[in-house]
Amino acid sequence: MLYINHSKKCSMDNTIIRKYDIRGVVGRDLQISDGYEIGRKFGQTAANVCVGYDSRIDSPSIEKELIRGLILSGANVIRVGLCSSPMLYAATMNADLGIMITASHNPRKYNGFKFFSSKKVYSDQEMKEIIGSTIKNSTKIGSLINTNIYSEYVNILKNVLKNNTTQKLKIAWDFGNSPTIVRYIEKVLPSHIHIITNNSIDGTFPLHDPDPIEEKNLAQLIDIVKKDKCDLGIALDGDGDRVRLIDNKGNVVSNDHLFMIFAREVLAEHPKSKVIANVKMSMKVHDFVSKLGGQVITCATGHSLVKKKMVKEEAKFAGELSGHFFFSELGFDDGLYSAVKVINILLKKNQSLSEAIEDLPKLYITHEVKIVVKDEKKFQIIESIKETLKQQNIVFSELDGIKVTDDKGWWLLRVSNTQNCITARCEGNTLEDFELTKKVLFYYIDELKLYI
């Protein structure tokens, strides 16, 4: 019997443990060796662990350390290899735990870990408890097998298409130099024309950061849609779980509107069902869903928080402004699955994406505004503004940061859990209400800057 003694406490920088994942700058607050420690600690909690990694430069080195730690703790490792987060999630459905090495949409200098289980959702507190635990004496060595999830994942996507049609779409794709099933896209969507950019796997992200929510990163895709007269453009983030759309006129589609498109389809199939929307979504989403007979439940931001709420409420669909969309039949968020869903809807309705948007309520709402602050100060700043509002007798929700709602609209300030910034957004019932609400929001943004 092999007996290994590696008893020790956590040596990781705990500041990289975020609300729903682990993320930091490699070489500064996240080290390659952290993979080993995470493997040793999480390997004590799960018998079978799926491991995948994204296209970032340091991901293969971190994967090697993670797998070493898992095996030494006795866990059996199913190595998925280079993949998107949804591909790793799909592989994990029959395992105890999935660990994805990724920093999602963050710039190239970042990396981190996402944890997935079909049985539970990992909170920051649970991650801290596991990582803070002592490495126990090992009496066995785990095993390692390699698996190929590509065919299974392609079939998941192909099953989304319900409509046999001869209609041919011209689709522009920006894969953001990240690992997706780009080489198989014609198997998923045969008979359509695909124009693909940034399809080489490159962790330096040479043309733009892998964050499609930042509209500057969509400029290249918009140009392709306009130049090649595409029916739509689709952009995915660094690990493939977020999506952003460009319509046939070259306009960026609001994810508030995309939520409505999905909710309408879900409620047609599951009348009177619940859907989950994060706190940043438009209030028009609530009105729209109510008129369709559904119920919107508001949730704090964060893919793991939304997932947990979705399970608790037995909701059929959930979405976040950031482009994470969850469908109950899938069990996790997937940008590519969401994109194929949109294509299926357009084919079914024989409608362009711009026509689909024209059918939806007009929005008087800002983009998400980001104010860069030091990570260690961002929570303190929000608490200071809360005290100011209390002194002014202004009522606000603390579900996720600060949200003030009145008869004209709402405004929001909240801490980003993945970046060193505070995010802001506001909405008005009418254009006039919007302008007034925006003035109030930017008054508090100016106040916020006093604390920076």
Q: By the 8 A CB rule, do 14 and 45 touch?
A: no
Structure tokens at 116: 């997935």
Q: By the 8 A CB rule, do 140 and 127 touch?
A: no
Structure tokens at 348: 């079914």
Round to whole Å and give the CA distance between 110 and 104. 9
Q: Tell me which of 85, 104, 273, 338 is the catalytic residue.
A: 104
Round to whole Å and give the CA distance between 190 and 168. 9
Structure tokens at 256: 């508030």
- Amino acid sitting at position 268: A
Place of tokens 């109950």: 328
Round to whole Å and give the CA distance between 324 and 332. 9
Q: By the 8 A CB rule, do 237 and 212 touch?
A: yes
- Compute CA distances 399 → 40, 305, 415, whole Å: 34, 12, 12
Place of tokens 């999630």: 89
Round to whole Å and give the CA distance between 430 and 164. 41
Angle at 423 between CA 28 and CA 222, to 5 degrees: 90
| 278 Cβ contact partners less than 8 Å away, ≥ 6 residues apart | 298, 299, 300, 301, 302, 306, 319, 320, 321, 400
Q: By the 8 A CB rule, do 255 and 244 touch?
A: yes
Element (H, E) at 347: helix 335-349
**Three state DSSP letters for 79-130:** EEEECCHHHHHHHHCCCCEEEEECCCCCCCCEEEEEEECCCCCCCHHHHHHH
Round to whole Å and give the CA distance between 267 and 269. 5
DSSP code of residue 426: E
* 84 belongs to the catalytic site: no
Burial of residue 214 (number of CB atoms within 10 Å: 0-12, 13-18, 19+): middle
Element (H, E) at 237: none
Residues designated as active site: 104
